[in-house]
Structure 1
Amino acid sequence: MQVKLARTSLEAKPKSAKVEDLEAQIAKNGQKIFYLDRENSHKDIIALIEFFEKKGFSVYQRSVYYGLNENEYMYEVHIV
């Protein structure tokens, strides 16, 4: 499964990352906060949360709005 990481600028395209790569980063640090792009579907976010919960992690997700428009947001996923 792949997810799109948050853009670094408004004009940039989001970069994709494999869930296994995210899991490796968590293994190094014990916890991690990921910012995911709005192009990820809600279904993909739920699948990501379920994947890590099955592995025994606690996952907290919220939407972060950085502008006044409806489409100016990203997902924050904190995995502990």
Structure 2
Amino acid sequence: MELLLARNELNEKPKKVQLDKIKDELAKDKQKIFYFDKDNSHKDMMALVEALEKIGFNIYFREIKYGLADDEYMYEVHAL
């Protein structure tokens, strides 16, 4: 599964990351907060949550609004 990390600037393209890379980072750190781009589908984000819960992590998932427009948000995934 390939997901898009949150952008640092509004006009740049989001960077891609594989699910295996996320799992590797969590194996090292045991807990981490990830921010994902709004261009990820909600279905893909739920698949990520399920995949991480399956390997024993507690996941807190939410949408973060950073502006007033409907499309100004990102996803936050906090894995413990």
The answer, yes or no, to whether TM exceeds 0.5 is yes
Residue identity over aligned pairs, in percent, reads 50
Match of residue 41 from structure 2: 41
Question: Alignment RMSD, CA only?
Answer: 0.5
Deviation by residue 1:2-35 (Cα, 9 ceiling, x = unmatched): 1100001000111110011011111111101000
> Number of residue pairs matched?
80
The aligned counterpart of 1:18 is: 18
**What are the ranges of 5 or more consecutive residues in structure 2 without an aligned counterpart?**
none
Distance across 2 between alignment mates of 1:26 and 1:56: 11
Unaligned runs of 5+ in 1: none
* 4+ long deviations beyond 6 Å: none
Correspondence 1:51 to 2:51? yes
Amino acid at match of 1:46: M
The normalised TM-score by structure 1 is 0.97
- Structure 1 counterpart of 2:78, one-letter code: H
Task: Give the structure-2-normalised TM-score.
Answer: 0.97
